[in-house]
């Protein structure tokens, strides 16, 4: 008997000489023919009772995750013409995406590619054998539209215009004026999200204008607290098409701001700074166009884009008060709090007290590619993460021990699912090792710097004194 890590159940014996490619290709043949024919019982037989379908723009112009064959079938039934148009379904042969067993499990996973009515797509599935029959069924199927036909990514420009009769500068000026006058897409906000989207739309030949309220691209990072560096290693947050220049692994906030500015410039993205939309855009359903007033450097401008994308961020507004010499309380005990406490100590606050109400999940960075991070429905990922809880936290045990000894309350995320679980469910309550290891050193350097306050709300106070600064 084998333990199946997705299910946590015992399975019939799986022969050791089983070929994952055979398993994957037989399943994919069955699944794709059932889609084309809209053979509902066969679609159901391809998916486990508690399996998932995750769809990004393939079966509808939306992102959906469906749990269980019944919901999957009714979703596909409603999208029957899109389902029937799935053709050219092939197993992926690229490294890390070709059929293989997931390490240490009896799960066979594979990528696949396909064509839909509007473009080409990429998918990924994970199969486990049925407990009683041994039949391979999907725990998760992911399908994503990756290119729209007629708007495929164009690659770098050739750089030669009108057979050397037109200068690049002229091309850019003309293009910029045209996009400013009549963009097809308006993006509000020139942070990572807005710039990435604009870069992708440019590749798809979709005229895109960004408006940014700050005077310079990157000011959103420059305006944050002085000692901020990225909490995640830089490779986690690379932008489309342009790798980071020679930045530190945990890049300083001003360097991130500088890079965003440079990124927009080198990709010739069309950004109006000191600009923001005025209330309230109206939509003409017949013309399929918006009318939007823009305040551009104090002057009103009107444009008529087909789409408006809000990329204005999800974090709160920064508060830049001066705290030098003051006794400061920081409410909350996540990554930002750890950073801010450290910054306040460095900036000369008389004392800094971190207020922790509920416990914090201090986790490790996870090395997965964007695609593989997307393919797994969150509920399934959470189930798997919870099952591997013990081994996952082993590497962090020294940091955790230090923080606990210093009086900090910790948790392991919802059902042990770690920082990702909390980030998805609460968008907060998490902290990365990078910022907490220093806090841990400071707190442990003087046990009496930690005071616990027992109250109805179970609030913890973790106090740093100015003397801690010498320990840096």
Ligand X SMILES: Cc1cc2nc3c(=O)[nH]c(=O)nc-3n(C[C@H](O)[C@H](O)[C@H](O)COP(=O)(O)OP(=O)(O)OC[C@H]3O[C@@H](n4cnc5c(N)ncnc54)[C@H](O)[C@@H]3O)c2cc1C
Positions touching ligand X (CB under 6 A) are: 188-194, 211-214, 220, 224, 228, 230-232, 237, 276, 311-313, 315, 336
CB of 331 to ligand X, least distance (A): 15
Judged by CB, which is closer to ligand X: 53, or 256?
A: 256
Judged by CB, which is closer to ligand X: 315, or 379?
A: 315
- The rounded distance, in Å, linking the Cα atoms of 56 and 64 is 7
CB of 248 to ligand X, least distance (A): 12
CB of 354 to ligand X, least distance (A): 15
- The rounded distance, in Å, linking the Cα atoms of 403 and 410 is 8
Parallel, antiparallel, or unpaired: how do β-strands 208-211 and 270-272 relate? parallel
Judged by CB, which is closer to ligand X: 177, or 315?
A: 315
In the structure encoding, which two tokens stand for residue 401, read together? 């021990």
- The rounded distance, in Å, linking the Cα atoms of 308 and 311 is 10
Judged by CB, which is closer to ligand X: 220, or 347?
A: 220
Judged by CB, which is closer to ligand X: 260, or 406?
A: 260
CB of 295 to ligand X, least distance (A): 9
CB of 190 to ligand X, least distance (A): 5
Alpha helices in 47-141 (DSSP H): 69-78, 80-84
- Length of the chain as a residue count: 472
- The rounded distance, in Å, linking the Cα atoms of 461 and 328 is 12
Judged by CB, which is closer to ligand X: 116, or 192?
A: 192
CB of 175 to ligand X, least distance (A): 22
Other beta carbons within 10 angstroms of residue 323's beta carbon come to: 16
Judged by CB, which is closer to ligand X: 189, or 363?
A: 189
CB of 139 to ligand X, least distance (A): 28
Judged by CB, which is closer to ligand X: 262, or 312?
A: 312
Question: Which 3-state string (H, E, C) describes 417-472?
Answer: CHHHHHHHHHCCCEEEHHHHHHHHHHHHHCHHHEEECCCCCCCEEEEEEHHHHHHC
CB of 254 to ligand X, least distance (A): 13
- The rounded distance, in Å, linking the Cα atoms of 142 and 321 is 46
Residue 142: which residues within 8 A CB-CB, separation 6 or more? 54, 56, 123, 124, 125, 374, 375, 376, 377
- The rounded distance, in Å, linking the Cα atoms of 62 and 185 is 18
């Amino acid at each position: 008997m084998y333990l199946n890590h997705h299910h946590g159940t015992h399975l019939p014996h799986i022969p050791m000489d089983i070929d994952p490619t055979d398993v994957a290709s037989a399943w994919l043949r069955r699944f794709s023919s059932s889609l084309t024919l809209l053979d509902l019982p066969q679609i159901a037989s391809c998916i486990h009772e508690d399996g998932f379908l995750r769809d990004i723009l393939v079966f509808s112009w939306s992102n959906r995750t469906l749990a269980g064959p019944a919901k999957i079938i009714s979703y596909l039934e409603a999208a029957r013409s899109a389902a029937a148009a799935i053709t050219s379904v092939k197993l992926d042969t690229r490294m890390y995406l070709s059929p293989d067993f997931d390490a240490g499990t009896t799960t066979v996973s594979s990528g696949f590619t396909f064509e839909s009515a509007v473009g080409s797509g990429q998918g990924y599935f994970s199969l486990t054998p049925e407990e009683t029959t041994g039949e391979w069924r999907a725990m998760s199927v992911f399908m994503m539209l990756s290119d729209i036909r007629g708007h495929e990514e164009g690659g770098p420009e050739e750089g030669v215009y009108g057979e050397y009769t037109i200068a690049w500068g002229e091309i850019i000026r003309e293009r910029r004026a045209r996009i400013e006058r009549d963009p097809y897409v308006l993006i509000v906000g020139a942070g990572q999200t807005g710039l990435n989207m604009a870069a992708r739309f440019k590749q798809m030949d979709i005229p895109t204008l960004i408006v940014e309220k700050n005077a310079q691209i990157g000011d959103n990072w420059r305006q944050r607290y002085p000692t901020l560096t990225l909490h995640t290693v830089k490779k986690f947050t690379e932008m489309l098409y342009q790798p980071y220049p020679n930045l530190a692994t945990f890049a300083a906030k001003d360097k991130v701001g500088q890079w965003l500015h440079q990124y927009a410039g080198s990709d010739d993205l069309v950004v109006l700074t000191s600009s923001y939309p005025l209330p309230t855009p109206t939509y003409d359903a017949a013309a399929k166009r918006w009318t939007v007033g823009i305040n551009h450097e104090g002057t009103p401008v009107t444009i008529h884009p087909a789409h408006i994308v809000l990329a204005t961020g999800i974090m709160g507004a920064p508060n830049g008060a001066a705290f030098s010499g003051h006794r400061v309380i920081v409410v909350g005990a996540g990554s930002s709090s750890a950073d801010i406490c450290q910054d306040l100590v460095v900036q000369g606050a008389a004392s800094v007290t971190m207020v922790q109400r509920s416990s914090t999940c201090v986790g490790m960075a996870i090395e997965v590619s964007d695609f593989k991070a997307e393919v797994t429905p969150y509920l399934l990922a959470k189930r798997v993460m919870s099952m591997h809880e013990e081994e996952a936290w082993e590497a962090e045990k020294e940091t955790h021990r230090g923080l606990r000894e210093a009086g900090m309350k910790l948790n392991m995320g919802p059902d042990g699912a770690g920082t990702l679980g909390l980030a998805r469910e609460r968008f907060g309550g998490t902290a990365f090792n990078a910022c907490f290891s220093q806090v841990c050193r400071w707190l442990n350097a003087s046990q009496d710097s930690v005071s616990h306050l027992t109250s109805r709300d179970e609030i913890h106070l973790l106090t740093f004194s100015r003397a801690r600064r010498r320990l840096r």
